Amino acid sequence: MLEFEKPLWEQGYRFIAGIDEVGRGCLFGDVVAAAVIMPEGLVLEGIDDSKKLTEKKREALYWEIIEHAEAWSVASVDAATVDEINIKQAARLAMKQAVETLGMQADYLLVDAEKVDIELPQQAIIKGDARSQSIAAASILAKVTRDRLCSDEWDKLYPAYGIAIHKGYATKHHREKLLAFGPSPMHRRSFLGKLFAEQQVLF
């Protein structure tokens, strides 16, 4: 998991930040990004793409990452902004904000399949969350943060939709609730046109 980090450390880059986001495909809520700088040479056992891990494992690794990280940050962009600038740009904005709020200056960025709009040397890695420990660590922090928001805050704000269960993704249950109740203020209107068009429902 250090195949990308090791050559960079050998080139003299000291503070390598891994960056990833979650929630890109959701119908509801913020897109959340994280940036993490791990100590040079440290290997954390069990780190992987957050989607491949159980919730219990993600939670355990979340605390382990925070304990060992030289710096970490999480940032989010809300549904209204997603609708305004589109999900790709919103994800990039969340990533940029995560890097800018790290609390220390990264000197190189490893990014999961994206470019961050910051003047720093960086590498976009396809499936980076499964290939780079730094990116995997960021994916875990972002995923745990967003899942907690779904369960602890957003589900209580809008209990009709079952957000704690499906985390805002387009499950059958979520689509049925949307058709029954219409979208909440935190739903991404730009994502819902097809669903409502299929049902010939206007919103």
- Residues whose CB falls within 8 Å of the CB of residue 136, separated by 6 or more in sequence, listed in order: 1, 18, 20, 47, 48, 49, 50, 129, 130
Interacting residues of 60 by C-beta distance below 8 A, sequence separation 6+: none
Can you give the pLDDT at residue 202?
Answer: 47
197, pLDDT greater than 80: no
Going along the chain, which residue ranges are E strands? 16-22, 31-37, 71-77, 108-112, 122-125
pLDDT the model gives residue 2: 95
pLDDT tens track for 6-52 = 999 999 999 999 999 999 999 999 999 999 999 999 999 999 888 89
Segment 51-108, tens digit of pLDDT? 899 999 999 999 999 999 999 999 999 999 999 999 999 999 999 999 999 999 999 9
Record the pTM: 0.94
pLDDT at 200: 55
Asked if 62 contacts 136 with a C-beta cutoff of 8 angstroms, the reply is: no
Residue 11, SS3 per DSSP:
coil
| Domain spans, the chain | 5-198
Homologous superfamily (CATH) of 5-198 is Ribonuclease H-like superfamily/Ribonuclease H (3.30.420.10)
Cα–Cα distance measured from residue 32 to residue 90, given in angstroms and rounded to the nearest whole number: 9
Give tens-digit pLDDT for 173-196: 999 999 999 999 999 999 998 777
Which residues, listed in sequence order, are joined to residue 187 by a DSSP beta bridge? Answer: 28
What 8-state DSSP symbol labels residue 154? I
